[in-house]
Chain A
Amino acid sequence: MVRGALTAGAPALGAEETLARWRRRKRIRDAFASLLTHLVLVTLGFILMIPFFWMVSSSLKPLDEVFLFPPQWLPSVPRFANYPAAINDYFPFWLYAFNTVQVTLAVLVGRVFTASLTAYGFARLHFRGRGPLFILMLSTMMVPEHVTMIPTYILFKHLQWLNTYVPLILPAYVGGGAFSIFLMRQFIMTIPQELDDAARIDGCSWLGVYWRIVMPLCLPALAALAIFAFMGTWNDFIHPLIYLNTPEKFTLAIGLRMYHLRGTEITPWNHLMAASIMVLIPPLVLFFFAQRFFIQGVVVSGLKG
């Protein structure tokens, strides 16, 4: 009836011709919408790339070109010597890189295993107090880090773990934090319980179900968790700052704050930018190859790491 009303009074057109015209218009509309979307996204993409571009450009400038006003987007003569200077002149870059890799990998392994195990317990095992315990665990996310900093520091001091990597690594081996557990638990809840049931009926233990059934199906979430752990630890400044004292144990995040001209608060921005790019490369490469998992992690948990 609607169709009839629309065509009433119009010159009689064949159904096929009407359909073809409608399809043509739709194609044009879709193409236009797609063009508009891409235009907006590309523009936003470029805007978001400006800081990164500025960073790369500054890393190749002499210091007095970095803050020229109005800004000079490209270096007059690219100065690649900034990179060796950034690596060699301020702190032992490769030692700090090694320290950072060491801590990051250790945290990554610990968080992936213990968070998934804890999450499995919360998702699959029924025990008295599970709900309140889960809420209690989640509530730790609401406590600001700074509130617990001094008590935690005192704890590690009494354990004589200051100026070691243990305070940075150990927390990853006791559950890995509320966010990680929450992320994994949400993902495990989406896995059909029937798979567990079948394994249990076949005689598989609880740990067997976790290891043989749940873990393989959780690979996307584990990848997301690993990326979050990597990013968080790689860029962490405050914990290494508080717990590490001697320079030979510092990580890159601390090193990046040490780009000051001798004894001043003046920063050689060109060298700092060069170092920042070097430090950025591993997370960037990781994100490039694993962005699907990263985004999936955000979608599953509704949170950003």
Chain B
Amino acid sequence: MSYHLRFGDLRARSSRRGFLTTVAVSLLGVPYLAACGPAPAPTPTPPPAPKPAAAAPTAAPAPKPAAPTPTTAPAPKPTAPAPTAAPAPTPTAPAAAKAPAARQEVTLRIGTWWDVWKPLIEMFTKRHPYIKVSYEPSPFSGYNQKLLTQLAGGGAPDVFMVSHAEFQGVVRKMQFWAIDDLVARDKINLKDFAIDQMEYSGYQGKIYGLSRGMPNPNSWLVYNIPLFDKAGVKLPPKAGEGAWTWDDWRKAGLAITKPPETWGSLSLRGSNIWLTMVLSNGGKLYNDDETKCLLNSPEAIEAFQFQVDAVRTHKIAPTPSEQQLLGSVAFATGKVGMVHTPAAVSWWQFKTNTGDFKVDAWHSPTPYFKKRVVVGQAHPWSTAIHTKVREEAWLWTKLVAVDEEGLDWLTANVVIPAYKPEYFVKKLPDERARRFLLEALSDAKQINWGPEYWGTKAPGEVTSITDSELDKAYLGEKTVKQAADDLVSRINKVLAQA
């Protein structure tokens, strides 16, 4: 017997009881889905009176000669034009600030990958009571994927932190507001930033965000003083007093290494380190128009070979698999002489990486081959092109990038600000932290920050391709030359498609 469904068949043969049961079950599901749905729009609260200009963050002390520009009074309700379907990268400026009689409550969505910003948000909402903040932190792993999906779908937070490695790739997709008009209006002098904002947050002559902190050089050298003393090795120079060459580093590593008890260093494997080494050796990542990768040049191969030899020939550092087993906190066990960490510009991060000083450690600048070069990340805060609260997003950007009170908090808790860094570091109450960070800063002034980070076309893919190919050289599956040729071939294909 074969069944053929015909029109009316189901209806004709369904019992009334069955029908009622189905309807009842369906109705039961409705409230549940409704409960999971979006909350109804909140009833607008009575708008607070506008904050007078005189009430602007007066908490900030009278600026010393180098004091930053204090945040101005809350600007009026934004009049920024809503972006069109095909938004231009540089929307026109909002209408000139005119204080409205009253402000409606607005919601500002703030996206970050670190859940450390609550004190600043409290400071922000206290200062701007009409702004309700929707704080949207995400885990670091997955943050970029989420942000890119949100930007593509028009659902990104109004203002968000962007990974520097991803910034150039995203800004090309015209998803950020340019903020040159706001910078000019509020008379923020970009020269007060210790790093060039056009280089770190700019694109095609426009600024698309402000750096919150100094670039974080992941290849900063932290050393274990007792292990150095035990091996009779002279300590590396302090920041501001020069730096080791990589040859010095190797000699120290060889003297300290006695596996499995002690390793001279953790592996040099890692994107930030190899790029620094290649640039320091006179190599380049790309040609000028970023159409060809140059990582198989003799200078690059020499730098790669140095890294691989440290593991395979000299056994100063563990192999990648041993390294994975050791983990980044292995330095805290006291069995590792040196580690390259992003600790230089952040006191608390340094303490964390060294196991909160279980190990007596200090820091030295990155070693070099021919010239001192450091690449680093300075993650900007940017504003989404689709935001309807551009002015409020700007208020937040100012708080985390140029505001006195905001940057005091940032210096003590997160990172040295990129804006007038020495001024803020000198205000730190902790003497050791002050000394540590000033040393790092004194060196930062002397070094040549890598002019190119990962390029603009496909930064994420370039780093992952290079790391994976270099791992094969680390494991002995390829020679360094073969690995370099292969990674160049793969990266060139990516560049061609980008």
Contact = CB atoms under 8 A, between A and B. Distances in A.
B33 A166 contact: yes
Contacts of B137: 247, 258
Interface string B1-28: 1111100011001110010001000000
Contacts of B116: 262-263
B329 A165 contact: no
Nearest to A196: B3
Nearest to B29: A173
A157 B10 CA distance: 36
Interface of B: 1-5, 9-10, 13-15, 18, 22, 29, 32-33, 36-38, 109, 111, 114-116, 134-142, 145-146, 149-150, 152-155, 157, 260, 318, 322, 325-330, 332-333, 335, 346, 348-349, 352-353, 355, 358, 413-414
B329 A64 contact: yes
A286 B100 CA distance: 60
Given A262-B116, A266-B328, 6 more contacts: A153-B150, A154-B153, A207-B18, A241-B138, A262-B352, A263-B414
B32 A67 contact: no
A196 B13 CA distance: 14
Contacts of B135: 246-247
Interface stretch (A32-40, A77-85, A119-127): A119-127
Contacts of B349: 263-264
Given A67-B325, A207-B10, A245-B109, A263 B348 contact: yes
Interface stretch (A68-76, A133-141, A175-183, A294-302): A68-76
A106 B33 CA distance: 9
Given A150-B152, A263-B114, A163 B38 contact: yes
Question: Which of A70, A91, A245 counts the most B-chain CB atoms under 10 A from its CB?
Answer: A245
A63 B332 CA distance: 9
Which of A71, A169, A261 neighbours the largest number of chain B CB atoms within 10 Å of its CB?
Answer: A261
Contact of B37 (A69, A166, A173): A166
A207 B14 contact: yes
B32 A106 contact: yes
A219 interface: no
B352 A266 contact: yes
Nearest to B136: A245
Contact of A70 (B13, B115, B260, B333): B260
Contacts of B260: 69-70
Given A161-B38, A208-B15, A238-B142, A150 B149 contact: yes
A266 B3 contact: no
Contacts of B150: 153, 242
Nearest to B334: A64
Interface string A146-190: 000110011001001111111001100100000000000000000
A257 B318 CA distance: 27
B38 A160 contact: yes
B153 A157 contact: yes
Contacts of A200: 1, 3
Contacts of B352: 261-262, 264, 266
B17 to A, nearest CB: 10
A262 B38 contact: no
A85 to B, nearest CB: 15
B97 to A, nearest CB: 30
A261 B328 CA distance: 12
30 contacts: A63-B329, A64-B329, A69-B322, A70-B260, A106-B36, A149-B149, A150-B152, A153-B153, A154-B152, A157-B153, A161-B38, A166-B37, A170-B33, A200-B3, A206-B5, A237-B142, A238-B142, A241-B138, A241-B145, A242-B149, A245-B157, A246-B135, A257-B140, A258-B139, A262-B116, A262-B352, A263-B116, A263-B346, A263-B349, A264-B353
A127 B5 contact: yes
Contacts of B29: 173
7 shortest interchain CB distances as A-B pairs: A257-B139, A205-B13, A67-B327, A165-B36, A153-B153, A245-B136, A263-B116
A269 interface: yes
B154 A157 contact: yes
A5 B175 CA distance: 88
Nearest to B11: A205
Contact of B1 (A149, A193, A254, A257): A193
A289 to B, nearest CB: 27
Contact of B330 (A67, A127, A193, A263): A67
A211 interface: yes
A204 B9 CA distance: 12
A66 interface: yes
A146 to B, nearest CB: 9
B1 to A, nearest CB: 5
A182 to B, nearest CB: 20
Given A106-B32, A166-B37, A207-B22, A150 B114 contact: no
B83 to A, nearest CB: 15
Nearest to A103: B36
A127 B4 CA distance: 6
Nearest to A170: B33
Given A150-B152, A211-B18, A257 B142 contact: yes
A255 to B, nearest CB: 9
A164 B116 CA distance: 24
A16 interface: no
A30 interface: no
Given A166-B33, A245-B109, A266 B353 contact: yes
A152 B134 CA distance: 23
Nearest to B21: A211
Contacts of B136: 245-247
A170 B116 CA distance: 33
Contacts of A264: 349, 352-353
Nearest to A238: B142
A157 B38 CA distance: 11
Contacts of B348: 262-263
